[in-house]
A and B are shown apart, each in its own frame.
Chain A
């Protein structure tokens, strides 16, 4: 597939926002001092990430003014379900922010209920996003539970790294927990992503040129795809990058999404400077953009079998 930048930004931005919100709700019971406005700032930031993701998604649409129509087919379409889950998530985040801004509206138990409802919607949103890709069964690189697991774990990891940086800036008391979990989620992400890389290395494609044209001969060569100029089929489904670039990028992703951020988080224990944590978040986020690019570029669409030779 040819990676679309709008979708890369959409999935990485909302992933970070979702992860950050989960981190905030998780951190709530630890907010003993009550003097810091950490929770409020982090919640608003989570909202900002979700909103930025939503904004990016509009660039993917040919007719953004009709985007509201996308809520109608929630019975069958995971994309429609995502389009519903995202605003619900954003509303819950706003309510959560409001409750922190005006304390005393609800008691601690009420906060926890709203918070947990938010976490539940965030997880549901991860699931919807993952299923958009995982449900297309002939995109065999995507049609696996790893897709959903990676979206969830990588988004959560990125959110927790951001939460760590934020807590260093605003409230040091909870830093330890966030940092520990940020490292843990990043390492889990490393394992799950390596598993999916490994799985995709070994895919046996069910479609071949033989099934595509229905001729059972071992040697079939395309002589013409029917047009010499490009078409939607050659633009949307081919990334035109070399295998070498892809395999190098894979290494880069492993290093900057997982290895460097974890190293920086550990380094912070010895050299407690806030900038290190911010840098860890930014490096990881850039890495996640590359990771998402790779996710698309690595998917082999069976329609490509029909577009091998210009002619």
Chain B
């Protein structure tokens, strides 16, 4: 299978801090996709072009509720409905790594592709009048000037909880594939057959069983290995002060 770069977003650890939103905006407004204009940023009714948003959902009913923070950007679908509808060929999916991009020099701003994306991942740039969307930071992930560890999308680097993983979902041994496989990764709106490359990891409850005797320190870990005694031990636990 050919390479398909993607993000895997862990809803279990996302705290909804919007660091990925601001770092995305910062990188992309200054990079090859920029500028991403803001209209009236400090005025009434502000608006702007963003590639990534963090939304918040409440699941369940009080008192049994969970707050789910939900980052959303272009999912780089493996079968992207936004690409074939484009009349100019400005929207395309790269063969070599599966990133869906818009050629800003070809786009006529007809907005047809935004109708054809079920996820609302595309936004028209109100100044440049062309369609824009997440590029997976294509202008930094291959940049040889950057240290290897920084050749990742800006949002991934910014996330303080490491809720965003980045890698090739078609390589079964990659970090993202293992996460999808082992943590129940899923796709959004599977009903439309778009086969999004980005996956989400669900909320999961983590429980450990602790038995009562494990709560009480029965023995010094410094002592040599042996059978655990039952119950609390009143006796001295060190042979003498020099035994350690």
Residue-wise, chain A 37-63 has the 8 Å CB interface mask toward B (1 for contact) of 000000000000000000000001111
Contact between A225 and B116, CB atoms less than 8 A apart: no
Residue-wise, chain B 14-44 has the 8 Å CB interface mask toward A (1 for contact) of 0000100100000000000000000000000
Binds B, one of A227-235, A242-250, A253-261: A227-235
A67 at the interface (CB under 8 A from B): yes
B142 at the interface (CB under 8 A from A): no
Q: Which of B49-98 contact A (CB under 8 A)?
A: 49-50, 53-61, 67-68, 70, 72, 81, 83-90
- Chain A neighbourhood of B60, CB < 8 A: 217, 219
Contact between B61 and A62, CB atoms less than 8 A apart: no
Q: Which of A206-247 contact B (CB under 8 A)?
A: 206-207, 209, 211-215, 217, 219-233, 236-237
- Chain B neighbourhood of A136, CB < 8 A: 81, 85, 115-116
Q: Which residue of B lies closest to A138 (CB)?
A: B118
Q: Which of B161-206 contact A (CB under 8 A)?
A: 186-192, 200, 202-203
Expressed in whole angstroms, the Cα–Cα distance for A227 and B85 within the complex equals 29
- Chain A neighbourhood of B123, CB < 8 A: 231-233
Contact between B49 and A232, CB atoms less than 8 A apart: yes
User: What does DSSP make chain B's interface, helix, strand, loop or mixed?
Assistant: loop
User: When the two chains form the complex, which single residue of A66, A132, A211 contacts B88, counting CB atoms closer than 8 Å?
Assistant: A66
Contact A226-B53, Cβ < 8 Å, known A62-B124, A306-B119 = yes
A307 at the interface (CB under 8 A from B): yes
Expressed in whole angstroms, the Cα–Cα distance for A61 and B88 within the complex equals 12
A139 at the interface (CB under 8 A from B): yes
In the complex, the number of residue pairs spanning A and B with C-beta atoms less than 8 Å apart equals: 174
| Distance in Å: Cβ of B85 to nearest Cβ of chain A | 5
Contact between B48 and A229, CB atoms less than 8 A apart: yes
Residue-wise, chain A 73-90 has the 8 Å CB interface mask toward B (1 for contact) of 100111110010000000
Contact between A80 and B87, CB atoms less than 8 A apart: yes
Contact between A232 and B87, CB atoms less than 8 A apart: no
Q: Which residue of B lies closest to A302 (CB)?
A: B118
Contact between B108 and A70, CB atoms less than 8 A apart: yes
| Distance in Å: Cβ of B96 to nearest Cβ of chain A | 20
Contact A233-B120, Cβ < 8 Å, known A207-B189, A222-B55 = yes
Contact between A307 and B120, CB atoms less than 8 A apart: yes
- Chain A neighbourhood of B58, CB < 8 A: 220-223
A137 at the interface (CB under 8 A from B): yes
Contact between B129 and A79, CB atoms less than 8 A apart: no
Contact between A223 and B84, CB atoms less than 8 A apart: no
Contact A69-B118, Cβ < 8 Å, known A214-B187, A232-B49 = no
Contact between B200 and A214, CB atoms less than 8 A apart: yes
Residue-wise, chain B 123-151 has the 8 Å CB interface mask toward A (1 for contact) of 11010111000000000000000000000
- Chain B neighbourhood of A36, CB < 8 A: none
B13 at the interface (CB under 8 A from A): no
- Chain A neighbourhood of B192, CB < 8 A: 137-138, 206-207, 302
Q: Which A residues fall within an 8 A CB radius of B?
A: 1, 60-64, 66-67, 69-73, 76-80, 83, 132, 135-139, 206-207, 209, 211-215, 217, 219-233, 236-237, 301-304, 306-307, 311
Q: Supply 11 further A-B pairs (C-beta < 8 A) apart from A139-B115, A207-B189.
A: A63-B108, A76-B85, A77-B84, A132-B112, A211-B190, A213-B57, A214-B187, A214-B188, A220-B59, A301-B115, A301-B118
Task: Return the 8 tightest CB-CB contacts between A and B, nearest first.
Answer: A62-B109, A303-B120, A62-B129, A226-B53, A80-B87, A76-B84, A70-B87, A232-B123
